[in-house]
Amino acid sequence: MEEIDAGFEHGAHESTPAWTVFGDLMSGLLGAFVLILIGVLGVQLELASNLEAEIQKRQQEEQRREALERALAGPLASGRVTLDNGKIGISGNVLFALNSDHLQAEGQQLLKTLAPPISAYLAAGNQMLMVSGFTDDMPVRDNNRKFADNWELSAQRALTVTRTLIDEGVPPSAIFAAAFGAQQPVADNADAEGRARNRRVEMAPVPKSGANGKQVDG
């Protein structure tokens, strides 16, 4: 009888560690499951937050674009100005007389109207404005020999527009000028109409990191 009791006690002692190990295993699995669940919920919350931020960003960009379009409504309707994916194109005839870098009254008023929405657009998007001057391919007719060629004429026109926008409130750190001369025409220079289209100034927002080394205004 004593041998049976001893065997029973021996078996009981052997079975206890198995249940303990099983309990520890289940506790470990439960803990791992909880950690995974917390991780998944955290990722979902982050994704939802990022999505909401992206939606707000797009809404703000749309509002800035609409403000810019409203400011340009009159010039756009008359054909003096174009707007293509945020890039503003202004006819050279609106801004300057032929072979001149002196801003005309109509161009001065137009830039004054554009400065506030442009400033808001740039500030909200952490961008800079590249002001580019273009000419036709006709030699510069300058009796005063102020411009050696179309490169210098386009550069001075871009600088004139840049400085005018700065005077009207665009931060100097958010704008720079570039010159393209007769390069990159948008029409055929074979006739007067095409040359008039090529004489233009374009203003395009660019990321601040992409503006390094492009500034002309010293």
Q: How far apart are CA 135 and CA 98, in angstroms?
A: 10
Better-predicted residue by pLDDT, 6 or 127: 127
| 28-42, 122-136, 184-198: least confidently modelled range | 28-42
For residue 215, is pLDDT > 70? no
In whole angstroms, give the CA distance from residue 59 to residue 187: 35
- List C-alpha distances in Å: 47 to 35, 36, 56, 57, 61: 18, 16, 14, 15, 21
Q: Is the pLDDT of residue 161 over 90?
A: yes
Rounded distance between C-alpha atoms, residue 80 and residue 110, angstroms? 10
Query: Does 214 have pLDDT greater than 50?
Result: no
Report, in angstroms and rounded to the nearest whole number, the Rg of the chain calculated over CA atoms: 34
The 10 Å Cβ neighbour count of residue 46 is 10
Least confident of 3-12, 105-114, 139-148: 3-12
- How do residues 41-91 score in pLDDT, each as one tens digit? 888 888 888 888 888 878 877 777 777 777 777 778 877 788 887 789 998
Residue 210 to residue 128: CA distance in whole angstroms: 9
pLDDT of residue 11: 52
The C-alpha atoms of residue 60 and residue 122 are separated, in whole angstroms, by: 12
> Average of pLDDT values for 171-188?
94
- Bigger pLDDT: 185 vs 39: 185
Judge whether 201 and 133 are in contact, CB under 8 Å: yes
At 188, the pLDDT band (50, 70, 90 cuts) reads very high
Q: What is the pTM of this model?
A: 0.67
Q: How many residues does the chain have?
A: 218
Pairwise pLDDT comparison (198 vs 213), residue with the higher score: 198
Indicate whether 183 pLDDT > 80: yes
pLDDT at residue 194 in the model = 93
pLDDT interval class at 144 (50, 70, 90) = low
pLDDT digits (tens, 9 = 90+) for 85-126: 778 999 888 999 988 999 999 999 999 988 988 888 888 777
Buried b (16+ CB within 10 A) or exposed e, 196-212: ebbbbbbbbbbeeeebe
Give the mean pLDDT of the chain.
Answer: 82
* Predicted local confidence at residue 85, as pLDDT: 78
